[in-house]
Structure 1
Amino acid sequence: MNAWHRSLVALLLSLAAAGAIAQRTPQKQSFDLHVPWIPQPVQVDGKTSLVYELRVTNYAQEPLKLTQLTVLDAQDHVLAEWGKTALDQILGRPDHPADHDNALLPPGISAIAFLSTPIDSSTAAKGGIKHRILYATSSGQTFHVEGGTFAIDPPKPLQLGPPLRGGPWVAIYDARWERGHRRVLYATNGTVHIPGRFAIDWILVGDHGGYARGDGATPAQWFGYGAQVLAVADAVVASTGEGIPEARTLAEGAAHKVSLENAAGNYVALALGDGRYAFYEHLKPASITVKAGDHVRRGQVIGQLGFTGESTGPHLHFHVSDANAPLSAEGLPYALERFRVRGTYTSIEAFDQGKPWLPSTKTEADVRRGEFPAPLMVVDFGGDGYVE
């Protein structure tokens, strides 16, 4: 055997040995980690975050228990971390397990981690985000897996005018609520979406709390009922949905089952450009003043706040999404150009019970620019829809 032949044989033998070693590396069947929507940064109460979902599916043949979830940047810096107790607050399960243990995933079952990960400008510039899951098997062994990697979508600034005038209006939403907008998934037309990822229900409250006169049993007793709803930008009316009647009382509305196609009630959708649409839902019957194809100006009245569709009380549901569809779309972040913070509610229970909201402790007017309101924040948009 000549020299080159011996060298070739040696090389092939070494490659075969390396392949054999690689094949013997232990492999563990576990989770698929998937981020279905690439988030854009959003600024809430002066802090920038990525708001998105991590879907975790167990492909093992045994139950696996999630014990820790960590979000890391491209340099393996920890951006956010949730341990055993905190996982209970961010995990949801479409199958709603009877034992409420969302972190224990049987074979073939998925959980959704509803994440809000703080970032800064340097993180956004460097890009990549990944996730590390620590988990335990039924025998008590612990392992980890990484995945759900994505590059941060460059910011696409969308600053909008106010959807309403005056105030005080309370921004009703919270990512922790199991049946809040943020955690409600709609599987329509063959794809699952979260249209209300950044939805806010705007409810007018009194200067000292409360949201209705008397017992609030009828829509007209609510302070915000009939308030003028405003176009948030110069836009084209993409669609309207009308013809949904209004229940005479809140009790009557609660007793009536609303179909998915009517859940938005009477609504208006505005095409904002760049594939983004603003949705105004639950509008008062016969109050819509525009039709599809109309051009509207920022601040123009397009309808009135009402009590139609799937609603527990008169309010304006407002969100921005990536399609002209109330449900079959992904909710997108945005900022309000200007609003004044007057205070906040300590909890949704305090709001429900008509308790006073806590005034802002700032000595000067707390005017925010280019932000998304924080949960349960009480704000004022000014008499003409603008604050100084």
Structure 2
Amino acid sequence: MRQFRRLILVAMTSLAFAGSSLAAQKPVPPPAPENDPLYMRVVAMPYPPEAQILDGNGHRHSAFELYVTNWGSTPLKITKLDVNGKDDQTVLVSQSASGKQLAAMFVPIGGDGTKPNDPSLKPGQTGVFFIFVDWIPDQGDPDNFQTSITIDQHGERSGSGTIHTAALDLNQDDPIVIHSPLRGKNWLAANGPSNTSPHRRAMLPVNGLPHIGQRYAIDWIQLGDDGKTFTGDEHDNKSYHAWDQEIHAAADGKIVEVKDGIPENVPNSGKLAVQMTYDTLAGNHIIEQLNEDHYAAYAHLRPGTIKVKVGDTVHAGDVLAHLGNTGNSSEPHLHFQVCDAPSFPASEGLPFAIDQYTYDDYKLDKAPKPLLTIKSSHPMTKQEPMEDELDSF
């Protein structure tokens, strides 16, 4: 609408001053009304199409992204982000971010997701805000999340205003309940669910769409009594406590994908045994269909230990393979995720809940000698371990 008016204004000005020297001058654009959204040329879209509920540490959580594109011709800066979780017209959850907190949530496309980034966008540039909402179960669950961003626009059209994005529905189903794929004590949920986990930022574009199959994934590593993951030679897989541990089916299901034959990496060497591609990223792996909408994916398995094939029906607790160090892996660990499609890259990550396990409150001492101390233990029911939790199964 604003562009159409401006074209008419230009035509009228040229006609009125035809034959004068003013006709050759560039028309002066009309002043932009304060907070006029027509001058805030921004596209902001939440993703994925539906948010999910995660239960962890006694709280409810949900992770989603907001893709923002500067569609205008002048730079802009996002100064604040607000998320309101609503049930009808009642706000049940409200979170705001600005300053350093906002910078920690933002990654420009092609930027470094391991550090905070200035939430500014040049003309034509796109960035992503990684949002991780949490609330107490007693508050009740919202029906949707409504996100808004406050913008400062610079250049010939300067000013500030607020963009309100479309509401993102929250799936009201509780997370799928599974059994732990591991047994034993001192399992650290490295890179588990949080807004700073590398899994949270692992966006992979496939067939033109962004996917984060690892949105709620965990890298399970096992600690020794000294708090280290290995004893002996750190460049020998056999030195690692997690290596060769049995991997168990997390639930009843059907095997839909199996990959074997990829050699193991030399741990902490900075090198990988094979080049990383779409097919080798997860190393030797298994994908199990749990139901119509949920798939359990087990990655980085030891070559030659996989005991199932595509089409097999398995039961919760069955041994599927042994833990290894293959694919995109620096040391032996089990990468485990639940997702909505039988693919590591081309899927959306879904939360899950382990039926029962023990949460260990711990501390790590480095001096006078390395030591892992369990301060207290707590039985957990139907929760997903969060980032850097220590658990026993």
Q: Confirm or deny a common fold (TM above 0.5).
A: yes
* Superimposed CA distance per residue, residues 132-191 of structure 1 (whole angstroms, 9 cap, x where no aligned partner): 11111225632111114122111243111011111211000154547x111011112232
Are 1:35 and 2:50 counterparts?
Answer: no
Change (3 A) 1:122 1:248: closer
Deviations along 1:294-315, one digit per CA (max 9) or x if unpaired, are 1111111000000111101110
Give the equivalent residue in structure 1 for 2:387: 375
AA matched with 2:127: A
Report how far residue 237 of structure 1 moved: 0.8
Greater share of strand: 2
- Given that 1:31 and 1:56 are in contact with CA atoms closer than 8 Å, whether structure 2 keeps it comes out as yes
The aligned amino acid for 1:205 is L
Structure 1: how far apart are the matches of 2:66 and 2:271? 35
Partner of 1:113: 129
- Work out whether residues 106 and 116 of structure 2, in 8 Å CA contact, stay in contact via their aligned partners in 1: no
Per the alignment, in what secondary structure is the counterpart of residue 260 of structure 1?
A: coil
Match of 1:54 among 66, 83, 100: 66
Note the 1:1-388 alignment, pairs <5 A.
Answer: 26=36, 27-37=38-48, 38-74=50-86, 75=89, 77=91, 79-96=94-111, 101-120=117-136, 125-138=141-154, 141-173=159-191, 175-177=194-196, 180-248=198-266, 250-251=268-269, 253-254=271-272, 257-344=275-362, 356-357=371-372, 359-360=374-375, 362=376, 365-381=377-393
Contact 1:169 1:205 in 2 (8 A): yes
The SS at the match of 2:282 is: coil
Partner SS for 2:349: coil
Q: In 2, distance between residues paired with 1:376 and 1:100? A: 21
Instruction: Tell me how far apart the structure 2 counterparts of residues 170 and 88 of structure 1 sit (CA, whole Å).
Output: 28
Q: Supply the AA of the counterpart residue of 2:211.
A: H
TM-score, structure 2 as length reference: 0.82
Q: Quote the Cα distance in structure 2 between the aligned partners of 1:234 and 1:316.
A: 19
SS in 1 for 2:44: strand
Q: Which amino acid aligns with 2:145?
A: I
Q: Distance in 1 between matches of 2:224 and 2:35?
A: 66
CA offset digits 1:94-120 (Å, max 9, x no partner)? 221799744011112111111111235
Q: 1:198-249, CA deviations, whole angstroms, 9 ceiling, x for partnerless residues?
A: 1100001112311101241111111110000000111111111111111345
Cα deviations by residue, 1:334-374 (Å, 9 ceiling, x for unpaired): 1111110123468xxx99xx9544534x4xx4011100102
Q: Matched residues in 2 for 1:213 and 1:122: separation?
A: 45
Change (3 A) 1:303 1:95: same
Residue 276 (structure 1) shift = 0.8
Deviation, structure 1 residue 254: 4.3
Provide the rounded CA distance (Å) in 1 between the counterparts of 2:321 and 2:143.
Answer: 41
Computed over aligned residues only, the root mean square deviation of the Cα atoms, in angstroms, reads 2.7
Find the aligned partners of 2:104 and 2:212 in 1 and give their Cα distance.
Answer: 18
Name the aligned partner's letter for residue 50 of structure 1: S
Pick closer, same or farther for the CA change 1:54–1:356 going to 2, 3 Å.
farther
SS at match of 2:279: helix
How far apart are the structure 2 equivalents of 1:324 and 1:54? 25
Instruction: Assess, with a 3 A threshold, how the Cα gap between structure 1 residues 218 and 148 changes in structure 2: closer, same or farther.
Output: farther
Conserved 8 A contact 1:124-1:152? no
Alignment partner, residue 9 of structure 1: none
Q: Which moved more, 1:44-53 or 1:281-290?
A: 44-53
Distance 1:201 1:238 in 2: 22
Distance 1:171-1:125 versus aligned 2 partners, 3 A rule: closer
SS in 1 for 2:269: helix
Q: SS at 2:391's partner residue?
A: strand
Cα distance in 2 for residues equivalent to 1:30 and 1:298 = 52
Match of 1:16 in 2: none
Quote the Cα distance in structure 1 between the aligned partners of 2:264 and 2:195.
30
2-structure distance, mates of 1:128, 1:252: 43
Between 1:205-214 and 1:26-35, the stretch displaced more is 26-35
Return the offset for 1:85. 1.4
Classify the secondary structure of the residue corresponding to 2:304: coil
Question: What is the CA distance between 1:48 and its match in structure 2?
Answer: 0.4
Distance 2:138 2:266 in 1: 53
Secondary structure of the residue aligned to 1:261 is coil
Change (3 A) 1:34 1:124: farther
The normalised TM-score by structure 1 is: 0.83
Structure 1 residues 101 and 51, CA gap change in structure 2 (3 angstroms): closer
Aligned length: 350
Kindly state the Cα deviation for residue 258 of structure 1 after the two structures are TM-superposed.
Answer: 2.2
Long gaps (5+) in structure 2: 1-32
Distance 2:131 2:35 in 1: 33
